[in-house]
Amino acid sequence: MKNKAIAIFGIGTYILSVITSATDLEGNFRLPIALIAISGIATAIFIIMALVRLWKDAKGVSITLASSAVILIILSVIQGVVTPSYGSPVIILLNITKWSEPR
């Protein structure tokens, strides 16, 4: 894929991930699980496509993208399994990772 197509796909997956992150006051997802899964799969496909495209030109950026994606997955699993308390270091690290992940 060309750079413009990958960029448009990345913007689309980001918008889809924001839309599917909507929850009600109890923390339940408002959209079907299938749409949330499609959003996750699309994001994974985008990251893989970006890694393949960037590997030749900018190995440092591609390594940073891959490592931030892995850290985000690990911290998300920890948050889902443990349910940390408010202000927990896991929550803080997860928010920092979500903010700093290049898209």
Q: Using CA of residue 43, residue 44, residue 47, residue 49, what is the dihedral sign?
A: negative
Q: Are residues 47 and 84 in the same domain?
A: no
pLDDT in tens, the chain (103 residues): 688 999 999 999 989 988 988 888 877 788 888 888 898 899 889 989 988 988 888 888 888 888 888 888 887 777 677 776 777 787 777 777 666 555 5
Q: Are residues 49 and 68 in the same domain?
A: no
Q: Are residues 71 and 52 in the same domain?
A: no
For the chain, how many structural domains are there in total? 2
Greatest alpha-carbon span in the chain: 46
- Predicted pLDDT at 100: 57
| Full residue range of the structural domain in which residue 71 is found | 59-103
- Predicted pLDDT at 1: 67
Q: Are residues 51 and 84 in the same domain?
A: no
Q: Are residues 41 and 83 in the same domain?
A: no
- Predicted pLDDT at 98: 67
Q: Are residues 33 and 63 in the same domain?
A: no
Nearest to 39 by CA among 61, 19, 63: 19
Q: Are residues 10 and 22 in the same domain?
A: yes
- Predicted pLDDT at 90: 76
